[in-house]
Amino acid sequence: MSTPDLVADAVVKRFGEHVAVDSLSFAVERGSFFSILGPSGCGKTTLLRMIAGFIAPDAGDIAIGGGSMRGVAPNRRPVNMVFQQLALFPMMSVGENVAFGLARRGIARAERRRRSEAMLERVGLGGAAHKRVDELSGGQRQRVAIARSLVLEPTLLLLDEPLGALDLKLREHMKIELKQLQAAFGTTFVYITHDQSEALVLSDHVGVMSHGRFEQLGTPQDLYYRPQTPFVAAFVGANNRVVGRATARDGASIEVTTADGWVIRAIHHAAGAIAVGDPVEAFVRPEVASLGRSEAQLPAGQPPHAGEVLSVLFDGANSAVLLQESRSRREFRIALPQTGQFSDLKPQERILFSFDPARAVCFPARAQAAGADA
């Protein structure tokens, strides 16, 4: 494997008492799409701005393309950034926007023109060079912003929640377009977002960030199926969180009993030991559970649970039913099967459900787990 395009080594950034980025180390492989996913205020923007060079780390080092970036100004780094609000220059035409960086490198006018027009062609905006920025649609501006950076052939393209300003439909469309662009150019993308769906769809690897640290770094599949911390389990994808104590243990399989006596089983595969009696958090994904009007309808061998329908949340392929588990009065969300079965569920109806304990995960409870929201 070639040297990684981006290496962060114990990077720290503090703002007064607040530690925005807390001794973070990671590497991003050449040509990959790397996302940093986290809620607002987790330090992801600070991290991105340190990579771009707008702020300097207090400690640690960032290397890009194998070279340390210590003391290198943003305009000297082999990195370009697509800003959240895109930051296209309104005083220039589309072509001038794309050629701006080339002009700064002292490339002759004719060559600048040729390259910027070729780049616009590649992002599907051939012939738009003479247009004004405000004549373009949101999606087209997005492409100009990316073209403006990619024309400089950076080692690394940084993207700061570039889809945040777009409406939902366009966002879905641009997600696919971004992934195709990245595949076509082969440039290493570092993408920050608070939208887990963007991170999962686009990325080769995702770092889930919270309080200045990576909770977990892995492929989207890892994060989704094998979360290493309760934060990741709660933040990535929908999940039902069940808080209780470990009441029995059989290898990795833990029996979790809630304060009101509801018993479920889940697998413990993450770091940290769980002993019988310890407080734990378990997570069950909505699509892991199955519904049944009788025990015979439930998959064989799965322990049955009972609940009462609170509401049916119809959302096409993502439809779900919100139950109240009978024992604990706890809300529990279960995906409705695509077959249309159970689409006739009514509120207050009693229903059975079950899930494979091997697909439910369990963690030692976080220190302030009681207060944290799932």
Q: Site residues (CB under 8 A) for other proteins?
A: 52, 54, 73-76, 79-81, 83-85, 87-92, 100-101, 104-105, 148-149, 152
Closer by beta carbon to other proteins, 84 or else 326: 84
Beta-carbon contacts of 71 under 8 Å, excluding residues fewer than 6 positions away, are none
Cross-sheet strand order for the sheet of 59-64: 18-28, 6-15, 59-64, 67-68
Give least dist CB 324 to other proteins, A: 47
Nearer to other proteins, 133 or 217 (CB): 133
Least Å distance, CB 92 to other proteins, is: 8
Q: Contact at 8 Å (CB) between 143 and 125?
A: yes
What is the token pair recorded at 349?
Answer: 């109806």
Nearer to other proteins, 15 or 54 (CB): 54
CB closer to other proteins, 95 vs 286: 95
Alpha-carbon gap, residue 69 to 72, rounded angstroms: 5
Query: Which C-beta is closer to other proteins: that of 24 or that of 152?
Result: 152
Question: Rounded to an integer, what is the distance from CA 156 to the centroid of its chain?
Answer: 19
| 236 and 329 Cβ atoms separated by less than 8 Å | no
> Least separation, in Å, of the C-beta of 6 and other proteins?
16
Strands 289-292 and 304-313: unpaired
To other proteins, the closest distance from the beta carbon of 116 in angstroms equals: 12
Q: Count CB-CB contacts under 10 A for residue 291.
A: 21
For residues 88 and 120, which CB has a smaller minimum distance to other proteins in the complex? 88
- Find tokens 């519904």 and name the residue: 291
Could you give the CA distance from residue 246 to residue 61 in angstroms, rounded to a whole number?
42
Q: Shortest gap between Cβ of 146 and other proteins (angstroms)?
A: 13
- Smallest gap from residue 126 Cβ to other proteins (A): 22
Give me the least distance between CB of 87 and other proteins, in Å please. Answer: 4
Instruction: Name the residue nearer to other proteins (CB basis): 73 or 273.
Output: 73
Residue with tokens 């699509």: 287
The whole-angstrom separation of Cα 262 and Cα 100 is 63
